[in-house]
Amino acid sequence: MERYRSAAALIAARRPDKPVLALRPHAAGRAARWFAQNFEGDIAYAYKANSSVFLIGALYGAGIRHFDVASLPEIEDAATIPDAELHFMHPVKARRAIRRAYELGVRSFSLDSEDELQKIVEETSGPDGNARDLQLYVRVAVPAINSLIPLEHKFGIAGEPATRLLVKTRQVAAELGITFHVGSQTTTPDAYVHALKAVRELIVHAGVVLDRLDVGGGFPSRYANSEPAPMDAFMKAIREGIEELPVREDVRLMCEPGRSLVAEAESLIVRVDARRGRHLYINDGAYGTLFDAAHLGFVYPSRLVSREIDADTSMSAFELWGPTCDSIDHMPGPFLLPACIAEGDYIEIGNVGAYGRALAGHFNGYGTYEEVILLDEPQMTMYEAEVAQAAGGSVHKLRQ
């Protein structure tokens, strides 16, 4: 794959006709190393966020060996990773998917109903009876607090039904766990505080011994309209909440970061095909990498990369329209760009590494991309100290 110093360097070298997915594997590796240093447990990358082999390779190189998978195709893909431990954390699974996952070595499953528990037991049983090596996580419902995408309405169990399910699961699981998810792009640690309090009450009420605890995902990235609390604050809240739980000291912890590992590791480079006032028509959109900008209100950082502008150039708020014939192919933003932007210019839209690539389709014949690797830093980062340290090291090396 071609490598460039920056998006601007790419455009200076050539002016691509297709939109470009620009990967920064070093950003994914840096995020993974941060988690490894600050979370005392297994880090299971949420495979659905981005399955680019370049980013998976960067995560693997940084020590990631656990993967949160949500479907049989993801399992079959991730099972090719050496030494990978897969966790099938979708609470509702087809029987064939359970059976095939078990054949591929998956032992870790989540569930949020007695019916699902029965399915797992039946589909993993052999001639000698029930499997004796299952790691089963009961998915509990917790409130979404300051999360952009709440998840508690679809999955999770609470109250007396959760107590009964924990007791029944304990009877068949080699290792019993609890898992929850506070919602995607959670911007404050309060959600984890409340979730762990709910877990504490549930453990006490059920009277079960817990072997594993999975605090799920939800860890944020930075966007133009979303400035989360520092990542350290999330880790502090989780550590303090776990200390209050009635569990053994050797309880095994896990988390499922997706967005926070790969959002910064990919950007999108698009061409302006038309300008109408404050409306820019570009060659990718809602049916492509910018689904979340159109439907969920994400405002990605953006910058003009096809020409240099003066420091005092005025900026304006723009709305973006994608290339398809559909009127919902609209990203309202606002995206702050130079007021002089015009047809033929190129824009880099940053921090699309989480779910952008995964959600892109081929409506109207669009949805194909060039791919390059960029060596510079993301437009926004949750890991400012680490970026500054890396920049200092680079400067030092250059001076030597």
Reported as a pLDDT band with limits 50, 70 and 90, residue 390 is confident
Record: fold of 3-22+266-385? Lyase, Ornithine Decarboxylase; Chain A, domain 1 (2.40.37)
What are the structure tokens assigned to 99, written together? Answer: 């059976």
Tens of pLDDT, residue by residue over 308-362, are 988 889 999 999 999 999 999 999 999 999 999 999 999 999 999 999 999 999 9
Whether the CB-CB separation of 200 and 148 falls below 8 Å is answered with no
First and final C-alpha spacing in the chain: 29
Confidence (pTM): 0.94
Mean pLDDT score across all residues of the chain? 95
**pLDDT for the residue 248:** 87
pLDDT at 377 over 80: yes
- Percent of all residues in the chain with a pLDDT value above 90, rounded to a whole number: 90
- Angle among Cα 228, 230, 236 to the nearest 5 degrees reads 120
CA distances from 275 to 67, 98, 336 (A): 43, 51, 15
Q: What are the residues facing 315 on neighbouring strands?
A: 338
pLDDT recorded at residue 391? 79
Q: What is the pLDDT of residue 397?
A: 36
Q: What is the mean pLDDT of residues 83-108?
A: 98
379 Cβ contact list (under 8 Å, min separation 6): 267, 301, 302, 303, 348, 350, 351
Q: Where are the domains of the chain?
A: 3-22+266-385, 26-262
Mean pLDDT of 226-235: 96
What is the arithmetic mean of pLDDT over 299-315? 94
Between the alpha carbon of residue 37 and those of residues 40, 128, 235, the distances in Å are: 8, 42, 11
Q: What is the C-alpha separation between 379 and 300, in angstroms, rounded?
A: 9
**DSSP string of 306-349, one letter each residue:** SS---TT--EEEEEEE-SSS-TT-EEEEEEEEETT--TT-EEEE
pLDDT for residue 400: 28
User: What would the mean pLDDT of 172-179 be, rounded to a whole number?
Assistant: 98
For residues 229 and 218, give the distance between their C-alpha atoms in angstroms, rounded to a whole number.
13
Q: Report pLDDT for 395.
A: 37
Of 9-13, 146-150, 350-354, the one with minimum mean pLDDT is: 146-150
CATH of domain 26-262: 3.20.20.10
**Any residues with CB less than 8 A from the CB of 150 and at least 6 apart, and which?**
144, 183
Question: Residues 308, 347: contact at Cβ < 8 Å?
Answer: no
37-41, 121-125, 150-154, 358-362: the lowest-pLDDT one = 150-154
Among 153-162, 231-240, 287-296, which stretch is predicted with the lowest mean pLDDT? 153-162
